[in-house]
Chain A
Amino acid sequence: MAEMVKDIVGRCEALFEDLHFDAVKQWKAAVPGRKAIGYMPVYVPREIVHAAGMLPVGIFGGGDQMEVIQGDAYYQSYICRIPRSTLELGLTGRLDCLDGMLFPSICDVIRNLSGMWQILFKDKYVRYVDVPQNYLDSVGGEFYIHEMQVLRDDLGKLAGKPVTDDALRASIAVYNENRRAVQDLYAYRAQKPWQAPTSEVYLVIRAGMVLPPEEHTKLVRDYIAAAELENRPKRDNARVVLTGSFCEQPPLGLIKSIEMSGCYVVDDDFGLVMRWLLDEVPATGDPLLELSKAFLHRSNQQASKYDEKKEDKGKLLVHSVKFYGAEGVIFAAPSFCDPALLERPMLQDVLAKQKIPYTAFKYAENTGQMAPIREQAGTFADSIKLWSAA
């Protein structure tokens, strides 16, 4: 019998709420000697971790259910929340199941956190994963391949055996599958947002942070199938693209509030790691070269990545609005997030030129008060709905 949406989402929710990462522990316990490597948003080449026989684990902050004490001790009030809760996870031993942590190049906060992690967790593997902002294969590409090679060598050492090209190619194929499933999920939601509400889609995506990719791919496919069987009422909601939440994630309550106030989210940038590379990475040829090419030429656009030309700014966002048939854009950025908040005016400028309506607000992963958010999102939806015909 096919699984029900309720069961699938229930499982995802349990994984999401488990701040002790039992799923990771279980995976490790199943075969002695297995290792798990954590990574922070936005993007790391998980293929390399996977090819080393390890489980890549997405560490996306602590959400709104965790009390943060130690983490707050290290950060001033004007710094976003995700590094605090991540530190809290580490300092309270919740990340002991990880054998290493990867800190992608996304902003100064995460960058500095990589050094703090080196000091606080001396016996763990810690690496800052730099990515190029120069998109020439011979310049940025070479640098990036070298960065990936270092990671590959390090993980090989950690695993006790080198990471082979074949293993890498196999992992690329696995992640191609996963990416396709996730893209299908996004396409399905955009088509029938009432059948696959974002509060569920989000949980399904988050499950991919702790599950092995093969298992996650199946879960995503199961969810799509199960959602199709549901009979859910279609509401008179406005279709929006949500952007700005690529790093610190909003609380689930916020996502629900946006939907409750009359919006269907048809595209978003949660858990971007899964959709960072835009299409298939060839699973033949030199794997690091292919990964590098995909990054340089066919990857997502987001605030921490340089846009070479002025004309490129906002291209993908506008494309997403058109592609998914959205009626407006909601900018939802974490408070004190320099990349997202500095990017915002530029994107708004682009949207205004295209006459795409937008609204904007800030949140923190532990925002408790939803009234102002409902009000802004609701007003936005109202204005789209009341005037769409006019």
Chain B
Amino acid sequence: MSTPIQMMPSQPSKKPAPKVQKEDAMWLQKEMINANYHELATAHERGKKVSATFVPGNLNELVMCFDFARSLPETNALQNGMRKKSGKMIMDAERDGQSEDVCTYVKADLGMMLGGEIGPTGEKLPTPDLLLLSYTGCFTFMKWFELVRQKYNCETVMLHTPYQGDGKISQSMRDYVVKQLKESVIPTLERVSGVKFDIDRLRQYMKESARAEDDLVKVLQSAKNRPSPIDGYFGAVYYIGPMFTAFRGTPEATQYYDVLRKEIDARVRDKKGPITPEGELTEEKYRLVVEGPPNWTSFRDFWKMFADEGAVVVASTYAKVGGVYDLGFRHDPDHPLESLAEYCLGCYTNMNFPQRIDMICRYIEEYEADGLLINSIKSCNSFSAGQLLMLREVEKRTGKPAAFIESDLVDPRYFSAANIKNRLESYFQMIKQKRSVAGAAVAAH
């Protein structure tokens, strides 16, 4: 799954870099992420086991109960994308026999392994002791870990999350997931780690999670203000990082979200716009809802195309890939396993099409957006197959214009700046033109 990112692009830009502005919370986040990579890199020497798993529907709290260091291959891929290392990794994987047509996250990961497992921060990452294959919302995950297993012979345990085919989570689905947790996942975690499962420990982590989740939701919903103090897509990528990855359930994460929420509250009071890499956005001209993951290889250029035009993303579905908390879900310490099951089943890409469309329409309304922008990702069938219907339905139901651009997560060959800029410009000019006509019509009366 197209995963949240955890760090400001540390790309040295060619010009003497204009001072990159960051919120305090962003600095904090960066430290957390780097520390985690270091921990991961040294896990084996410190006698810790490593478990790899995917972002959507990840069982971080549970895995922590067994003292595993957590590695998230999607995050590695996107970090490598931001650091412009993914292109070569993908080519390496293709040379190793992978097809050009398939998801580039997988290829970036496999390519990294072929290149000696050197992680985004330059430290060598350990081979996982366990692949926790929870394939929420995407079939490619399954192949991904099968491929890793084929190479490294890692122990693998499957957690199958059924799809919300008819738009709801049934009891049978919940039972199925809970049963898998009890009968295969937890016993395997125990066996591999040598640590006995302690449900109270799990409850404790989940308590932390729920608190942080409250704060995250407040941050994301601050975009309902005018001007919006945050960018709910590019900026949100930094906000969701800890929550969606190895930190959910830790006190550090809770603290991070506390700091973050306070910062954002202050921005709301001061009526400030979001901070972009080019500085604070002073004039909010367009408010958009975005569907689909961002492109990582040109993340800053991409963001700049929006910032330059005064466009702010007020809500995005991508900020929900690791949990749709704003619709009410919280980890529940009183029903730990059931709540984990609920969490897995409720992830954004595990929702069916009518649900996804409803959610977007709701965002457009609640966040008073001018329209919907879809960034369609070549890699990701889970997100992309059907987005054009989404576009049409949303236009029909909200009366707001929608636009469509295409790129890829981490394959630089698929990011055509001129092409995307052309479409974005046309889209913004169209909204502006429509507005001025509407304005003129009002004035004429």
A and B touch in the complex (CB under 8 A): yes
Is A229 an interface position by the 8 A CB rule? no
Q: A74-B388, A116-B386, A128-B165 are in contact. Are A345 and B147 (CB under 8 A)?
A: yes
> What is the bound-complex CA distance between A103 and B183, given in angstroms?
29
Q: A83-B385, A133-B158, A313-B146 are in contact. Are A362 and B163 (CB under 8 A)?
A: no
B385 engages A142 (CB within 8 Å): no
> What is the bound-complex CA distance between A107 and B138, given in angstroms?
8
Nearest CB of chain A from residue B418's CB, rounded to whole Å = 18
Nearest CB of chain A from residue B326's CB, rounded to whole Å = 21
> What is the bound-complex CA distance between A105 and B135, given in angstroms?
13
A114 engages B165 (CB within 8 Å): yes
Q: Per-residue 0/1 for A111-141: is the Cβ within 8 Å of any B Cβ (1 yes, 0 no)?
A: 1111110111000000111101110101110
Most buried by A among B146, B156, B165, B179: B165
A113 engages B160 (CB within 8 Å): no
Most buried by B among A111, A130, A134: A111
Q: Which residues of A contact B160 (CB under 8 A)?
A: 132-134, 140, 306
A78 engages B386 (CB within 8 Å): no
Is B98 an interface position by the 8 A CB rule? yes
Q: Which residues of B contact A106 (CB under 8 A)?
A: 139
- Give the interface segment out of B81-89, B101-109, B197-205, B333-341: B101-109
> What is the bound-complex CA distance between A120 and B393, given in angstroms?
10
A342 engages B106 (CB within 8 Å): yes
The answer, among B142, B176, B352, B388, for a CB contact under 8 Å with A76, is B388
Is B172 an interface position by the 8 A CB rule? yes
Is A303 an interface position by the 8 A CB rule? yes
Residues of A263-304 whose CB lies within 8 A of B: 303-304
Is A109 an interface position by the 8 A CB rule? yes
Q: Which residues of A contact B143 (CB under 8 A)?
A: 303, 338-339, 342-343
> What is the bound-complex CA distance between A132 and B138, given in angstroms?
15
Nearest CB of chain B from residue A78's CB, rounded to whole Å = 5
Is A341 an interface position by the 8 A CB rule? yes
- Interface size of A by CB at 8 A reads 59
* Chain B contact patch, size range: 35 or more
Closest residue of B by beta carbon distance from A143: B176
A342 engages B102 (CB within 8 Å): yes
Q: Which residues of A contact B133 (CB under 8 A)?
A: 306
Is A371 an interface position by the 8 A CB rule? no
Q: A108-B138, A143-B172, A143-B176 are in contact. Are A130 and B388 (CB under 8 A)?
A: no
Q: A146-B172, A342-B106 are in contact. Are A116 and B147 (CB under 8 A)?
A: no
The answer, among A83, A128, A306, A342, for a CB contact under 8 Å with B147, is A342
Q: Which residues of A contact B179 (CB under 8 A)?
A: 138-139, 142
Q: Per-residue 0/1 for A317-330: is the Cβ within 8 Å of any B Cβ (1 yes, 0 no)?
A: 00000000000000
The answer, among A119, A136, A138, A308, for a CB contact under 8 Å with B357, is A119
Nearest CB of chain B from residue A64's CB, rounded to whole Å = 20
Nearest CB of chain B from residue A151's CB, rounded to whole Å = 11
> What is the bound-complex CA distance between A133 and B163, given in angstroms?
12
B386 engages A112 (CB within 8 Å): yes
The answer, among A115, A133, A143, A333, for a CB contact under 8 Å with B142, is A133
A73 engages B388 (CB within 8 Å): yes
Q: Which residues of A contact B102 (CB under 8 A)?
A: 338, 341-342
Is A344 an interface position by the 8 A CB rule? yes
Q: Which residues of A contact B149 (CB under 8 A)?
A: 310
A105 engages B140 (CB within 8 Å): no
Is A376 an interface position by the 8 A CB rule? no
Nearest CB of chain B from residue A303's CB, rounded to whole Å = 7
B385 engages A109 (CB within 8 Å): yes
A339 engages B139 (CB within 8 Å): yes
Q: Per-residue 0/1 for A63-86: is the Cβ within 8 Å of any B Cβ (1 yes, 0 no)?
A: 000000000011110110001000
B150 engages A112 (CB within 8 Å): no
Is A337 an interface position by the 8 A CB rule? yes
> What is the bound-complex CA distance between A129 and B406, given in angstroms?
31
Is B127 an interface position by the 8 A CB rule? no
Closest residue of B by beta carbon distance from A337: B101
Is A336 an interface position by the 8 A CB rule? yes
The answer, among B98, B183, B354, B388, for a CB contact under 8 Å with A119, is B354
> What is the bound-complex CA distance between A107 and B139, given in angstroms?
6
Is A228 an interface position by the 8 A CB rule? no
Closest residue of A by beta carbon distance from B386: A112
> What is the bound-complex CA distance between A83 and B146, given in angstroms?
26
Is A236 an interface position by the 8 A CB rule? no
Is A359 an interface position by the 8 A CB rule? no
Q: Which residues of A contact B378 (CB under 8 A)?
A: 76, 78
Q: Per-residue 0/1 for B151-193: is the Cβ within 8 Å of any A Cβ (1 yes, 0 no)?
A: 0010010101011011000001101100110011000000000
Closest residue of A by beta carbon distance from B171: A146
A335 engages B388 (CB within 8 Å): no
Is A222 an interface position by the 8 A CB rule? no
Is A346 an interface position by the 8 A CB rule? yes
B381 engages A107 (CB within 8 Å): yes
Closest residue of B by beta carbon distance from A114: B165
Is A183 an interface position by the 8 A CB rule? no
A139 engages B180 (CB within 8 Å): yes
A79 engages B385 (CB within 8 Å): yes
> What is the bound-complex CA distance between A106 and B139, given in angstroms?
8
Is B99 an interface position by the 8 A CB rule? yes
Nearest CB of chain B from residue A295's CB, rounded to whole Å = 14
B176 engages A139 (CB within 8 Å): yes
> What are 6 A-to-B residue pairs whose CB atoms are below 8 Å?
A78-B101, A79-B384, A133-B160, A136-B183, A140-B176, A338-B103
List 17 additional A-B contacts (Cβ < 8 Å) besides A114-B165, A139-B183, A339-B139: A74-B388, A79-B385, A112-B381, A115-B356, A129-B165, A133-B160, A134-B160, A142-B175, A304-B139, A307-B146, A310-B150, A313-B150, A338-B101, A338-B381, A341-B102, A342-B143, A345-B147
Nearest first, the 10 A-B pairs at minimum CB distance are A115-B353, A128-B165, A342-B143, A143-B176, A341-B99, A133-B160, A115-B352, A108-B381, A146-B172, A108-B382
